[in-house]
Amino acid sequence: MNTMYRSILNVDPDEPLIDTVAEHLHRWIATKSVHVPSEAPGRYLLSPEDMITVLRENVDGKRVFRWHRERPFDRRDPELMTTTVTAVEDPDGRGWLWTQVQPPSSHSRTPRGKGFMCVPSFVRSMLGSLACFDGQTPILADPQWISTGHLPDLMDFLADDTRRGPILVVSPSITGPSAIEGATALTFRELIGIGTMFLLEEDAEEDFNTMMGPDHALLPGTIRTYAPGVNLDEPDDPARHPTLGRRRIETKSVGQLAYLLGLCQRRLTCSAPIPPYLDEIDQALMDAESRMEQTVASVHLFPTPNGRVPGQRTGRPHGPGVPSAPTLTARDARARLRPGGHYPPFLRVLDEPIPFHHDDERTIEDLHAENDMIRRQIEMFTTMVQAYEQCQTNIREAVETFGEQMRRLRSQIDNVASGGGSASG
């Protein structure tokens, strides 16, 4: 099955990881009028095609929790999509938080149409309650400001080859300080849980570019995406870190920029191998789920949002709605941290959180029409991303070809210099 969203993060060892994840999943699923105890192991059948599985295991001395849901993609597509959240508490070190969304298996691995989907809202809320890291880099749900005094920390984050996701650095020349926060927060929305976006303060841009050097520098009015393990001494390294140019930023909508960045980076992070440590735990959990499936008593029938239990032909009226979970921001998490906190003090979060997507009063026909329009837009953005990636590949191959020609030329020069002959022999 292909994967269209994958977030693998480390969590501070002092965090109550499993309890926090179970709580946020319970809140999130309750907003959909599904009442399933996310903390209790078992298989919960919501309909013949909609199953939630909850596992709590001990794997090699580590406490492991998994929440897994399989359900039809939408009303018109009965094929199943899956959402899986895995939390690992390791008494000897950092924990792990692994979130994955997989569309129906019949769809192409290319993220077209229904293969691309919004970041699950529970990811944002969990990042507001847990101290999460990608390698050394703190991961939050909102862009962070960077001042001159904290550029050495940013340099460490960029050079870290243990991180999996991108770091996006934004030039302050894009727009004014008051407007840049809202615009970049929306641009970053499809990368939540995958990467980090840093906004350079005005007096930090020149110092940042001096430290990075001309080839790795950030051009005014642009956004540059830095892949893991930035190497300032490697001549071919700058080609790994694409720049979103000023003209494209000025001519595209915020939504278009969000999809462009999201499509490209999700493909990269989803194609990266899963750490062997988690791969072994994943296998143990799949074995546990297989054993659970063989136990009929493990299946619990739960009412669906229309008030029916699986198999009933006549429905009951809707019950009272469940209040939506409060929006949890990184600022809330910072307020709860112990003295000394987990995050470096320079990480300043945005004042206003990005709101969750809540149900509205539009008709089903309106929703289907909007869904079709969004799918067409995503297909167009996907084509643009593929062309952009092909351009990157061509540039990289050209750089490698020129590099090889330069090496041969230098070898000829060295031979002439040492032997006193001509370059032609």
CB 260 within 8 A of CB 252: yes
Q: What is the pLDDT of residue 264?
A: 81
Q: Report the pLDDT value the prediction gives residue 112, as an integer from 0 to 100.
A: 40
| Res 74: pLDDT | 59
225 and 209 inside one domain: yes
Domain count for the chain, please give it: 3
Helices and strands (DSSP H and E) totals, the chain: 10, 14
Q: Do 264 and 314 sit in the same domain of this protein?
A: no
Whether 279 contacts 398, CB under 8 Å = no
Residue 71 sits in the same domain as residue 50: yes
Q: Are residues 156 and 233 in the same domain?
A: yes
Sole residue written with tokens 């809330």: 332
Within a domain: 57: yes
What's CA 267's distance to the chain center, in Å?
Answer: 10
| CATH code assigned at 174 | 3.40.30.10
**Residue 332 within any structural domain of the chain:** no
| Residue 20 lies inside a defined structural domain of this protein | yes
DSSP code for 348? B
**Are 106 and 146 contained in the same domain?**
no
| Residue 336 forms part of a structural domain | no
Q: In 188-246, which ranges are E strands?
A: 196-200, 223-226, 243-244
Identify the pLDDT of residue 118: 75
The residue assigned the tokens 């847990």 is: 130
Residues 26 and 93 in one domain: yes
Instruction: Please provide the size of the chain in residues.
Output: 425
Residue 329 maps to a domain: no
Q: Is residue 19 part of a domain?
A: yes
Q: Which of 81, 145, 89 is nearest to 116 (CA)?
A: 81
Could you tell me if residue 71 is inside a domain?
Answer: yes
Q: Which residue has the tokens 């693998």?
A: 8
Please list the alpha-helical segments (H only) found in 87-230: 121-127, 151-159, 177-187, 205-212
Same domain, 169 and 57: no
| Residues 1, 146 within the same domain | no
Q: Are residues 233 and 284 in the same domain?
A: no
3-state secondary structure of 6: strand
Buried b / exposed e over 206-222, threshold 16 CB at 10 Å, is: eebbeebeeebbbeebb
For residue 328, tell me if it sits in a domain: no
- Cβ–Cβ < 8 Å for 121, 32: no
Neighbours of 235 (CB within 10 A): 11
Print the domain residue range for 180: 138-272+342-352
Note the pLDDT of residue 236. Answer: 92
Q: Using an 8 Å Cβ cutoff, are 24 and 16 in contact?
A: no
- Are both 79 and 161 inside the same structural domain? no
| 175 and 119 part of one domain | no
Tokens of residue 331, six digits: 């600022």
pLDDT for res 313? 38
Residue 363 class from Cβ within 10 Å (0-12 exposed, 13-18 middle, 19+ buried)? Answer: exposed
Closest CA to 144 of 362, 369, 348, 377: 348
By C-alpha distance, which of 380, 389, 391, 387 is closest to 116? 380
Backbone torsions φ then ψ of 326, nearest 5 degrees = -65, 150
On whether both 202 and 150 belong to a single domain, the answer is yes
Per-residue pLDDT of the chain (425 residues; tens, 9 = 90+): 578 889 999 999 988 999 999 999 999 988 888 888 887 888 888 877 788 899 999 998 899 999 999 887 655 555 678 899 999 999 888 999 999 998 766 443 334 444 466 788 899 999 999 999 999 999 998 888 899 998 999 999 999 999 999 999 998 876 544 456 667 777 888 889 999 999 998 889 999 999 999 999 999 888 999 999 999 999 999 999 999 888 888 788 888 888 888 888 888 888 888 999 899 999 999 999 888 877 755 566 655 555 444 444 333 333 333 333 333 333 343 333 333 334 443 333 333 333 333 344 556 666 766 676 777 667 666 776 777 777 777 787 778 888 888 888 888 887 887 775 554 44
